[in-house]
Amino acid sequence: MTWTEPSTWYAKLPAFHAATAAFITDTVGDVLLVKPTYRDHWAFPGGYVEQDEYPHQACAREAREELGIAVAVGELLVVDWASPAGQRPRALVHFTFDCGTSTRHDGFTIPEQEIESVGFFAPDEAAQRLPDNVAPRVSAAIRARARRIPCYLVDGVTAS
């Protein structure tokens, strides 16, 4: 193998995006989801990781922006490698963090131009409201939280 200039070698490596989500439940185990104004489906509070930002920082920032609350970002629950799809030409590494339990069912300060609704849903109902490739993250996060071991998914399927 011949030596390659580092700038050339790094330029040839594949690139991917990173996103993050806050997994928040209420005291009975219902899962918090948000309904963005720009999507037809519900989502976990979260979004893309920005330049020079760590995934756990992005999780806290997105919860603050979407819910108007400060969350304590806890353990990593799920990593899901999402292959390129639709208009997204690059793979996406999605990090779901445990952001605890909320006793508040209202009182969120949501940016109405971005979020039209917030709600807690039983795990099965939450999964039904999410896109098919995202829905498995609900049960994976619940399992990971109980076992205290992160779950690794590939396109929403448990990797073996």
Question: Each residue of 83-101: pLDDT tens digit?
Answer: 998 888 899 999 999 999 9
What percent of the chain clears pLDDT 70, i.e. is strictly above it?
A: 98
Strand 46-48 relative to strand 16-25: parallel, antiparallel, unpaired?
antiparallel
CB atoms within 10 A of CB 68: 14
In the chain, beta strands by DSSP E: 16-25, 31-36, 46-48, 76-82, 91-101, 115-121, 151-154, 157-158
Encoding tokens for residue 143?
Answer: 């399992």
Binning pLDDT at 50, 70 and 90, where does residue 1 land? low
Closest CA to 45 of 120, 104, 140, 103: 120
What torsion do the CA atoms of 15, 89, 40, 48 make, to the nearest 10 degrees? Answer: 20
Is residue 156's pLDDT more than 70?
A: yes
CB atoms within 10 A of CB 146: 8
Give yes or no for a contact between 96 and 73, defined as CB atoms under 8 angstroms apart: no
Show the domains of the chain with their CATH numbers.
Answer: 20-158 (3.90.79.10)
Supply angle C-alpha 158, 86, 135, rounded to 5.
Answer: 35
Encoding tokens for residue 118?
Answer: 């917030």
pLDDT digits (tens, 9 = 90+) for 12-47: 888 899 999 999 999 999 999 999 999 999 999 999
